[in-house]
Amino acid sequence: MDACKPYIAAIMVQLTYTGFYVISKFIFDKGVSTYVFVFYRQAAASLLLTPISFVFERKKSPPLTPAIVVKLFLHALIGITWSLNMNNIGLKYTTASLASACSNIVPVFTFFLALLLRIESLKLKSLPGIGKATGITLCFAGVMTIALYKGPHISPLYHLHGHRDHNESYADHASAPSMATWIKGSLFVIISNLTWSMWLVLQGKILKEFPSKILFTTLQSLFSAFQSLFVAMAFEREASKWKLQFDMGLVAILYGGFIVTGVSFYLQSWIVEKKGPVFVAIFTPLGLVFTMLCSIILLGEVISLGSVVGGFLMVGGLYSVLWGKSKENMLCDLPTQVEKSDVQEKETT
């Protein structure tokens, strides 16, 4: 059962991101400021995590040196403040399905960054290495398929907006973003995913110096809330955008702060420590499948055949990489098992 925990945790992370994509797209279309939303989300996460870390970590937390503080601050700036703001702007300009689809390039970015830092290895002459390379290639092919091939549209059989008449549907298509806006939004999402990949890779190195995952997540949330406040003040001057109301905007803030930042960030830190950053990133194709289904049912998005084909390619890449990594882990465990058996034989003799 313990061996299955990282897999279950990784799937839970993708489910939380699915809900976040759908809710965020809904409120951004209603006019909620992306910059203010990031600040409130991180502030909510900080309110949740600060008392928890104080209760559980105040006596056993590792020393917080100035060097660690600087690393955590820059780490939060790159992977949370910058990445979240870029992603939300891109999500506002595009769709929840496209933002989720573009996130599937994270395994490619993460894998090559991990290779550069010598966290991961790739032996193309071995069967596991070929499996990992094939999986990464399939993930990249899936992203390119979604970006370059539309194909016929697949109309949803049922969605919550099905009661709208023909004129409202026509208005929706008329107000669709232009190609320039679509490309700009896609670039924002891709840049966000690149910085997110850097955040995942660097997280493993920082956790070796500062192993407290709860305090690590809390400090990241506090730093990012502080940084996001200055970003929101710089880009959002309209006072009405800062007002909180009892609506879906508040639900999204609480969900993003408590569930996504508070729970899933902690789960990701735990998975990175157990399995490494590429293991976390390689589960992102599942988020695309979940998001497509929820977008069709809840938002009434029309999905293209290219998105479905690309999704299948990326899920195939997921299992190919996981197979390669599992085979490598089995090969790495063989020497230790042989050594243990030798020790037991010596003890018996």
Question: For residue 290, is pLDDT > 90?
Answer: no
Question: For residue 295, is pLDDT > 90?
Answer: no
Calpha distance 248→253 (Å, rounded): 9
Mean predicted lDDT score pLDDT of the chain: 78
Q: Quote the domain boundaries for residue 252.
A: 2-348
For residue range 106-152, what is the model confidence (pLDDT) as tens digits?
Answer: 777 777 777 777 777 777 778 888 888 888 888 778 777 766 666 67
Question: For residue 49, is pLDDT > 90?
Answer: no
Of residues 58 and 71, the one with the higher pLDDT is 71
Total tally of structural domains belonging to the chain: 1
User: Residue 60: pLDDT band by 50, 70, 90 thresholds?
Assistant: confident
User: Residue 154: pLDDT band by 50, 70, 90 thresholds?
Assistant: low
Question: For residue 347, is pLDDT > 60?
Answer: no
